[in-house]
Structure 1
Amino acid sequence: MAAAGKVYVPSYTSYTPVSPRSRIHVLAEPKPVFCESSPRLVWGDQETIWTLSWGALTAQPSARILSLSKPKKDFSKYECRCRPVIGGRALLAKFGYPSERLLRLAEPKKYLPAYLEKRARESPEWPVSLAARNYNASQRILELAQPKGLHPDFMPAREVSRSPQKAIASPRTIELSKPKQLHANYTPPRDPEWPVTEAAKRAVATPRVLELAQPSTRPRMGLATLNPDAFRVKGTAMKAACSPRLQELARPIQR
């Protein structure tokens, strides 16, 4: 019976070798809770549920899948309190007594005499006062004492299957995983401080350089706002032709 696009799948509780589909239905059932201490599923732990296709419902599992789908044997009744011996050897077959050095290292460190003289109490345990025993914790303290819960959208880490662990990266993947290298023509930024050459120290500025080094003389801002021609470009500057050297210097640095 189908309703709202979902297929009703009957539940099976035992393995029937007549139809292989019955075993798939048994494996699709959730595991029962054996005791109250079993962890409960909360929102975010389960996977997204979608409707099974007709091809998945009518699929015929192979003999290997049927062999792997059989439940494991219960060896709990053979468990014992003693530790199992690997290889059938006795537990004390290779037992060795510790050396004097190991016995000396296993002894706890002793307190210094100065500490024993200055310590407040003879024992780390002391009686609790009556006020502390009769104290009633406030609602805020009880709230802070509660352990923090998981976020509603928390999803635990999934265990990586063995196939991704054994995967071998292709040469293209290894090439893409390498960090990008700097360009061959990359020029690192120059240090703001560098040594001045001897020729620059002995250079004598020309009168033109001294003239250009002088700051521009402009009237006060209050007067400049009243003069509309204060920042007008001169006609000679508008007709000036730029030299090849200025054009070369005006180009940005190629990186």
Structure 2
Amino acid sequence: MIFFLSLKEPELKDRISFLAQPKESKTIWATTPWILTWGNQESIRPLSRSALQASPSPRIKALAQPKRDFSLQIQLRKEEEEEERRRMKISRPSSHAVQYENIVRLATPKTRGRSAQEVNYPHSFLCEHDCPIWHVSPSVRNVVVSPRILQLANPKTNHPNFTSNRQNVQTFISYAAQTAKMTSRLEQLSLPKLRKNRHFYNPGRPESPIRTVSRGARNATASARIQALSTPKALSKDYIPPREPTWQP
């Protein structure tokens, strides 16, 4: 308000007319700097003379390199994997004999080349993992075992209430039970109980209702409240239905 009061009448009119002009869209400036002609080799934005004559740095040259396309290498790798898988299937066919030999080989226990009690040279770093002798250092052999270690070394015992597996006892069936004849009642009780599927109703005639309607429900007279509740909801008074589109040639 103070700014407008400080202006004179001609300046105020010019200011108001300037502010009354609609705001121009900046997207037009960013997208269309000038009229473009299709088919020529001119750039969309004008390039200055210094930009045309400038020499790019090694970093800009590195960034200007197009990104490598690895899709072809991925496809070739998949083809190589499929070829290798196919070659492995052909070179090592699966058969019961080969599987049996493999199971026998895996089930054979490993044996040591020399006896564990054999005297050998002291342990060296050259036979860390392949040494056939288990070397125990003197400090470990002369150590004093604590009561706690002795307690932990004892095997775990079974619970006092533990009951082992019982021996199979043969069940003897008497001669009377073997020669007995079942009554009709026992045969009826031995049959499994059949439960009907109550999720679905038996399909009937198309005009018949899905659920059975009793005679009393069919002969009943609906009250005024039930008739009011069964009336469908009406549309509003101000509702205007959609007009059909009219096509004109």
- What TM-score comes out, normalization by structure 1 length? 0.21
- What TM-score comes out, normalization by structure 2 length? 0.22
Q: Which has the larger radius of gyration?
A: 2
